[in-house]
Amino acid sequence: MGKTTLLLELASDAGEQAVYAAADGPAAALPGWWERLWADVAERAERGRTLVLIDEVQHFADWSARLKAEWDRVRRKRLPVHIVATGSSALRLARGSRESLAGRFERVTLTHWSAADATQVFGMSADEAASAVVRTGLYPGAMGLRGDPARWFAYVRDAIVEPAIGRDILALGAVRRPALLRQVFAVAASSPARVVSLQKLQGRLQDGGALETVAHYLALLEEAYLVAALEKYARGAMRRRAAPPKLVTLNNALCAVTHPDGAPEPTAERERFGAWVENACLAFAWNAGQRVTYWREEPLEVDGLIDGSWGRLAIEVKTGAFDTHDLRGLLEFCRRRRSFRPLLLCDPAHLGAAARLGVPAMSWRRYLTAGPEPG
């Protein structure tokens, strides 16, 4: 996500009053590293406001309890110190902050990069960035490898997926069957934007597992910002929990390294490409902090319902030609739930057809770059 780059830029801006420390570096393994770090901080704080930047803090043993002790000491002595701690394991950071740091921190989550991020940082055009979001996803460390598919694949697999699945989640001690967790991830990531019952998901696993275990592993994958299991929109909580989830992979790069055929071709594999576009659109909203659900009452369905700072939107994603029949679910849901605004995301060539049908629409490429237009 670029956490280290961000901390180093902050350190450069702060100059001599910044202390950068990497908890996963060789020096951190030496005896007394933690004590020397805070002695340096205290010395600098005597000269003025000091910025402490601790990278990959979860690698340090008992990091949350130790950080709590140092923060409380800083407060008692009224030292002008500001602390920023980062980590690549959302699960381990969340557990540590809940256990020891309650009431002492502000949490900022760096989610997956958007097309707008790629245009600003890498100078990509809006269309190029939107296409990359769909076909290869966006990880800043992999951007320079896009011209070499084999190296790109290896980077995402070895530097993104394996640390998350094989280290961060397993380190929690909440996974008794690591092989089953990997299979749940593989099945979920190869089913982008699909409604899959837990029973069917269970049937696709090589190793059998109880439904409760499969559901627990899906929840862990969501906490790790890998796969979101979207609930069905319904009035009652019991009905929501009973309905099968819609699986959305939160970065299409994970789909590309999981599917045996890689990324789909827009013209040769239209159905699969459409599913990947829908997945990218729903993941974009989820990563932006919106509450995302779906709606289905056979034979009617709405791809995604968004409720949050963007407003209340009912979204339908179409990457080919469509008519009124194809939009029945969207129109019927918005007739029943007038607080939701319909929005059709389609190819630029079909915006005219949407206008003739009287349905608000925008290009899915523009949506991925700029977000939904205000109603």
pLDDT tens by residue, 283-294: 999 999 999 999
Would you state the pLDDT for residue 97? 54
Helical ranges in 197-327 per DSSP H: 198-203, 211-223, 237-242, 252-258, 270-287
| Residue 232 and residue 292 in one domain | yes
Whether 196 contacts 218, CB under 8 Å: no
| Residue 32 and residue 173 in one domain | no
| Bond into 260 cis (ω within 30) | no
Would you state the pLDDT for residue 89? 62
| Residue 80 and residue 122 in one domain | no
Residue 23 sits in a domain whose CATH number is 3.40.50.300
pTM recorded for the entire structure = 0.85
* Closest C-alpha among 278, 195, 184 to residue 233: 195
Q: Residue 111: inside a domain, yes or no?
A: no
**Domain enclosing residue 44, as ranges:** 3-100
| Residue 18 and residue 131 in one domain | no
Would you state the pLDDT for residue 61? 75
The residues of the chain scoring below 70 in pLDDT are 89-104, 171-173, 206-209, 236-241, 375
Q: Residue 137: inside a domain, yes or no?
A: yes
| Residue 130 and residue 88 in one domain | no
Would you state the pLDDT for residue 246? 95
Would you state the pLDDT for residue 236? 62
| Residue 197 and residue 318 in one domain | yes
- Dihedrals φ, ψ of 80, to 5°? -80, 75
How far is it, in rounded angstroms, from Cα 350 to Cα 361? Answer: 9
Whether 224 contacts 169, CB under 8 Å: yes
Would you state the pLDDT for residue 62? 79
| Residue 305 and residue 203 in one domain | yes
Q: Residue 108: inside a domain, yes or no?
A: no
| Residue 12 and residue 149 in one domain | no
| Residue 247 and residue 297 in one domain | yes
Would you state the pLDDT for residue 203? 78
